[in-house]
C-alpha cells in the first residue's frame, strides 16, 4: 500500500494535475483584490448583481478568496505538490542517475539494433577509434573486448536540481505568507511614526518594535508640470530614538533595514501655514475636494472676525504655490512661498504641510525564493549539456559500434561520423 501511494505521488500526471489546480487558484488570487476591507468587496461584488452571475462578496469571504495565498487549502496544495516533487526525485531521478553512472556493457551485438545510431567496421584499428573517443572527452570502460563510453553525465543532474529549486521556491512562498506582514502609514513630514496600521499578517508573523522619522517629502515635476517622481527622506531609529540609518526612497526604490522594506506609495497635503498682517503664523487645514478622482485641496481663510467673509485657497501640487479665489469663486492670482499676496487682506505663504504614504512590509521567504530561482537557472544551463553514450564490441576482425544521446541528436550523429570515418 505504501509503495502504491508513493508511486502515485511520484507520477508526473499527478504532479501536473496539482500544478494546474494551484495555477487556477493563483489566477483567482490575481483577479480578485487581495487583503482588502469588507466594504470594498461589498461594493465591487454585490449580492444583487454578482460578478459572472455567481461571484458575490459572501462567497469570497466564505471560501477565503480575499486572501487565497494564506488559506489552509492553498498551502496544503503547495505542500502536496512539494511532496510529489520530492517523492519523484527519490524514487525516479536518483535511481536514474545511479543507473547512468554504471558501466552498461553490451554482451551481444543484437543490442546495437535498439540504439539511435550504429554501424559495423572492418579493417580498422580499435586503438585508433578509442584514441579519437578519448580526445572528445568521453570516459572509457573496458571488459575484455567490450567497451562502454559516456560523457556529459552532469546533464543528468539537471532534473534533480529543477525539483530541488521548485521545492525551495514553494517553501519560500509558504514561509513568506505565514511569517510576513504589510502595513500602511500616512505620516506628515518631520514626524516620527511606529508600525500601527497593519493591513495583513501571517499566522506566525512578529511585528517589530521599531520606529522611523520622515525628515522630508517632495515631488519633482517635468517641464509640462506633470509628476516625475515622489521622494521621501526617512531615518530609521533605534529603541532610544537615535538615528541608525537614513535613506531617500522613491517609487520602485524602497529603503531596507533589518529585513523591513519601506515603499513610497502615496502622498497627501494636510495644511497651509499662513501669516496674516499683524498676526502670528496660523495653520489652516486642507480638505480634499476629489478623494476618489484626483488630488485637489482647498481651505477657507476668513478675513473678518465674524468668519463670514474671506478667501478660498486652492492647491493641487507641491511646486510651491497655491491659487487664491474670492468668495464668489473669481480667480485673484497665485501665491508663492514666502510671498505676500497684494489684496485688501495681504497674507504670505510660509509653508505647505505635506505627508507621505509609506507601505511597510516584510517577506522572510524572499531569500529562499531567490535561492530557488538561482538553482533553477543553474539547472537550465546544465540541461544544455548532452549526455551521450557509445558502445563498442570487437568480434574477431569486425567492430560493432553504436550510440545514444539525450538531446542534440544531429550534433551527435556528426560526432559519431567523425569517429568512424
**Spacing of C-alpha 255 from chain mean position:** 17
**Per-residue pLDDT tens over the stretch 383-395:** 888 889 999 988 8
**Per-residue pLDDT, 262:** 94
Number of C-beta neighbours around residue 239 at 10 A:
8
**Per-residue pLDDT, 247:** 93
* pTM, full prediction: 0.69
**Per-residue pLDDT, 291:** 63
Question: Would you state the cell numbers that stand for residue 212, as one nine-digit string?
Answer: 522611523
Collect contacts of 310-318 with beta carbons under 8 A, ≥24 apart.
Answer: 310/345, 311/343, 311/345, 311/347, 313/272, 313/284, 315/269, 315/272, 315/286, 315/352, 317/219, 317/221, 317/225, 318/218, 318/219, 318/267, 318/269, 318/352, 318/354
When the pLDDT of each residue in the chain is averaged and rounded to a whole number, the result is 87
**Per-residue pLDDT tens over the stretch 325-352:** 988 888 888 888 888 877 677 888 888 9
Angle at 282 between CA 279 and CA 283, to 5 degrees: 170
- 261 pLDDT band, cuts 50/70/90, is very high
Amino acid at each position: 500500500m505504501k509503495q502504491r501511494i508513493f508511486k502515485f505521488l511520484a507520477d508526473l500526471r499527478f504532479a501536473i494535475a496539482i500544478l494546474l489546480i494551484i495555477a487556477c487558484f493563483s489566477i483567482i488570487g490575481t483577479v480578485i483584490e487581495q487583503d482588502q476591507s469588507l466594504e470594498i468587496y461589498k461594493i465591487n461584488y454585490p449580492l444583487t448583481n454578482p460578478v459572472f452571475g455567481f461571484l458575490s462578496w459572501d462567497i469570497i469571504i466564505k471560501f477565503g478568496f480575499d486572501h487565497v495565498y494564506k488559506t489552509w487549502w492553498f498551502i496544503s496544495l503547495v505542500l502536496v505538490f512539494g511532496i510529489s516533487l520530492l517523492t519523484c526525485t527519490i524514487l525516479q531521478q536518483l535511481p536514474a542517475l545511479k543507473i547512468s553512472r554504471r558501466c552498461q556493457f553490451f554482451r551481444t551485438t543484437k543490442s546495437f539494433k535498439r540504439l539511435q545510431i550504429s554501424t559495423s567496421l572492418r579493417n580498422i584499428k580499435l586503438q585508433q577509434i578509442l584514441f579519437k573517443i578519448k580526445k572528445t572527452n568521453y570516459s572509457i570502460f573496458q571488459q575484455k573486448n567490450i567497451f562502454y563510453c559516456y560523457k556529459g553525465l552532469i546533464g543528468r543532474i539537471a532534473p534533480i536540481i529543477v525539483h530541488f529549486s521548485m521545492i525551495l521556491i514553494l517553501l519560500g512562498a509558504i514561509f513568506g505568507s505565514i511569517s510576513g506582514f504589510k502595513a500602511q502609514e500616512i505620516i506628515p513630514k518631520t514626524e516620527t511614526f511606529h508600525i500601527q496600521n497593519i493591513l495583513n499578517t501571517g499566522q506566525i508573523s512578529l511585528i517589530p518594535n521599531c520606529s522611523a522619522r520622515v525628515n522630508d517629502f517632495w515631488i519633482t515635476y517635468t517641464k509640462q508640470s506633470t509628476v516625475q517622481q515622489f521622494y521621501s527622506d526617512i531615518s530609521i531609529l533605534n529603541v532610544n530614538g537615535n538615528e541608525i540609518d537614513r535613506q531617500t526612497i522613491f517609487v520602485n526604490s524602497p529603503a531596507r533595514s533589518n529585513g523591513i522594506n519601506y515603499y513610497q506609495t502615496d502622498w497627501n497635503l494636510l495644511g497651509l501655514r499662513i501669516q496674516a498682517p499683524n498676526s502670528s503664523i496660523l495653520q489652516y487645514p486642507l480638505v480634499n475636494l476629489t478623494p476618489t478622482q484626483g488630488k485637489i485641496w482647498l481651505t477657507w481663510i476668513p478675513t473678518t472676525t465674524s468668519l463670514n467673509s474671506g478667501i478660498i485657497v486652492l492647491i493641487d501640487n507641491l511646486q510651491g504655490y497655491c491659487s487664491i479665489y474670492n468668495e464668489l469663486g473669481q480667480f485673484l492670482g497665485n501665491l508663492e512661498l514666502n510671498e505676500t499676496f497684494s489684496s485688501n487682506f495681504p497674507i504670505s505663504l510660509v509653508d505647505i504641510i505635506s505627508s507621505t504614504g509609506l507601505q511597510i512590509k516584510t517577506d522572510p521567504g524572499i531569500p529562499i525564493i531567490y535561492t530557488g530561482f538561482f538553482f533553477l537557472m543553474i539547472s537550465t544551463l546544465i540541461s544544455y549539456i548532452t549526455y551521450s553514450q557509445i558502445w563498442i564490441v570487437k568480434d574477431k576482425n569486425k567492430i560493432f559500434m553504436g550510440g545514444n544521446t539525450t538531446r542534440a541528436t544531429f550534433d551527435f550523429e556528426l560526432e559519431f561520423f567523425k569517429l568512424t570515418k
